[in-house]
Amino acid sequence: MREAVRSLLSLQERAKVIEAQRTLAELLLAKGHVEEAERWALSAVETVGMQDAMSRANVRLVLGLVRAAQGRDEEAELLFRDAIDSLASTDYRNSEPEALAAYSRFLRDRGRDEEAEAAEARLAELLEPEGAAPII
């Protein structure tokens, strides 16, 4: 992924660079490299343009995950909510479930089960379209 970011930077493929930076941050976070994940997430924040609503939300989500891993819960929660709210107001709603699931895990990890249930209810609504027959 590091090589992908370098290659994409040289090609000036902004949208692809952002997603590569975000993915690299997520991978590093999963491996426990929180500080390096933060650097890549912040790089993605700097790279993303104001008009790219989906990438901006995805970058906020990964930065929220980093902040949660750092114990910066207030900032993490604001980033999660901002990502969810910005996705809900666009046509890019297919990314909203990922953000809601991450936010729900964040809330449950902090013993805020009632709030997590509300996020999970919203997630369930998104995953089962209105008028769909129930799955038995």
Residues 41, 64 contacting (CB under 8 angstroms): no
Q: Is the pTM of this model over 0.85?
A: no
| In the chain, where the domains are located | 2-127
Q: Does residue 12 carry a pLDDT above 80?
A: no
Which of 75, 71, 65 has the alpha carbon at shortest distance from 44?
65
Four-point Cα dihedral 94, 96, 97, 100, nearest 10: 180
Residues 86, 60 contacting (CB under 8 angstroms): yes
Residue-wise pLDDT for 44-81, tens only, equals 999 887 788 888 999 999 999 999 999 999 999 999 99
Question: Between these two residues, 15 and 22, which has the higher pLDDT value?
Answer: 22
Question: Between these two residues, 93 and 105, which has the higher pLDDT value?
Answer: 105
CA–CA distance, 79 with 73 (Å, rounded to integer):
10
Q: Does residue 132 carry a pLDDT above 60?
A: no
Q: Does residue 131 carry a pLDDT above 60?
A: no
Fold of the domain built from segment(s) 2-127: 1.25.40
Q: Chain-wide mean pLDDT for the chain?
A: 87
